[in-house]
Amino acid sequence: MAKLQAGYLFPEIARRRSAHMLKYPDGQVISLGIGDTTEPIPEVITFGMAKKAHALSTLEGYSGYGAEQGEKQLRAAIASTYYGDLSLEESDIFVSDGAKSDISRLQVMFGSNVTMAVQDPSYPAYVDSSVILGQTGQFQKDVEKYRKIEYMKCNPENGFFPDLSTVSRTDIIFFCSPNNPTGNAATREQLTRLVQFAKDNGSILVYDSAYAMYISDDSPRSIFEIPGAKEVAIEVSSFSKYAGFTGVRLGWTVVPKELLYSDGFPVAKDFNRIVCTTFNGASNISQAGGLACLSPEGLEAMHKVVGFYQENTNIIMETFTSLGFSVYGGKNAPYVWVHFPGQSSWDVFSEILEKTHVVTTPGSGFGPAGDGFIRVSAFGHRGNVLEACKRFKQLYK
């Protein structure tokens, strides 16, 4: 624990935001920082949850402990909706209370004697959970990296896909696509190389697809679209950004039966044991919400929610593009990754906050290769996004 650097990124931003609001009580702060959904959950989905809540007051509708792995019906619906063509089954799906919790449970399963690689920049929970589990060495202040973690640099020069020929072998590879924070989705060809790389090295690939529904081109929506991925990959995903479930808490992890340790033991058996020992399942009400999400009406409603945030993304991208910035991401993700070459991310973050009262996220919070960038999140009310973009235009005109 002592190795961990300062605060976890998002609580740190929340602290700075609060300090700013104290300083400017009339500042009309707009948050495009933490990727937190803002739009109401479609009624077809909340109706399903309210119905379940009421049912819990009846003899017929009451249920106690559910299966730790999630309700059969929901596991089946996830399998058929997202993996229908990919020969994954209900039993390959583990329902969770969200991707962050499952990343931590996976880390507990891997234990402290593994090595890991992450994209640089990447969602901080991969690195921080690795540090907490004792997988890493000390933090090296000069390079802003932990010893024993392999940082796979992703930047405009390599099209945000790591040069695998320079990446050392690790036991575990965390990979997020569409990426948080860069917004980049890896192509089929790139993911094919990544799967082959994991196979050649005997690595387990933990693939975070929490933004897959934001893909607007033909990039793969699941790692399991890549032939052979079932033998090397675990996929973590979530309802948070599809249905506004950031507060409701529901996600899932796919551990295919085909994924084996080098001694032939199925990884899914270990994960099942972890889930049964350290978790009691996602809330039955959230799971009823998940089922409602995957009904025909729920799916349509989720696509509308995603479409709304995609429009926000376009507005933000157009704004920064029109101001002459190099802008990345956005096309396949609700995040816009704006380049401020030669500047420190925290300086840019502070200047934007100070002068426009808009909270963004400093790129360096996601890893050293994120420095010089800020992440602008498309999660916001339309009016706020438009107002923020107006202020950006005033600041950078």
Q: Which residues between 185 and 214 bind its own copies (CB under 8 A)?
A: none
Decide if residue 236 touches its own copies (CB under 8 A).
no
Site size for its own copies, by CB under 8 A? 71
Segment contacting its own copies (CB under 8 A): 46-54, 147-155, 161-169, 212-220?
Answer: 46-54
Least distance (Å) between residue 162 CB and its own copies: 24
In the complex with its own copies, which residue's Cβ is closer, 53 or 143? 53
Decide if residue 101 touches its own copies (CB under 8 A).
yes
CA dihedral 216, 222, 224, 230 (to 10 degrees): 160
Least distance (Å) between residue 258 CB and its own copies: 19
Least distance (Å) between residue 4 CB and its own copies: 7
Kindly identify the residues of this chain, within the stretch 80-99, that bind its own copies according to CB under 8 A: 97-98
Decide if residue 171 touches its own copies (CB under 8 A).
no
Q: Would you tell me how many other CB atoms lie within 10 Å of the CB of residue 11?
A: 11
Q: Which of 15, 18, 23, 62 binds its own copies (CB under 8 A)?
A: 62
Q: Which of 54, 72, 304, 390 binds its own copies (CB under 8 A)?
A: 54
- Find all residues with CB under 8 Å of 67, minimum gap 6, and list them: 281
Decide if residue 377 touches its own copies (CB under 8 A).
no
Decide if residue 22 touches its own copies (CB under 8 A).
no
Decide if residue 159 touches its own copies (CB under 8 A).
no
Decide if residue 19 touches its own copies (CB under 8 A).
no
Decide if residue 125 touches its own copies (CB under 8 A).
yes
Tell me the C-alpha distance between 136 and 115, whole Å: 8
Least distance (Å) between residue 14 CB and its own copies: 9
Decide if residue 221 touches its own copies (CB under 8 A).
no
Tell me the C-alpha distance between 234 and 351, whole Å: 40
In the complex with its own copies, which residue's Cβ is closer, 34 or 386? 34
In the complex with its own copies, which residue's Cβ is closer, 136 or 155? 136
Q: Which of 13, 30, 49, 352 binds its own copies (CB under 8 A)?
A: 49
Least distance (Å) between residue 124 CB and its own copies: 8
Q: Which of 13, 30, 32, 38 binds its own copies (CB under 8 A)?
A: 38
Decide if residue 58 touches its own copies (CB under 8 A).
yes
Kindly identify the residues of this chain, within the stretch 249-288, that bind its own copies according to CB under 8 A: 249, 270, 273-274, 276-286
Kindly identify the residues of this chain, within the stretch 284-343, that bind its own copies according to CB under 8 A: 284-286, 289
4 φ, ψ (degrees, to nearest 5): -60, 135
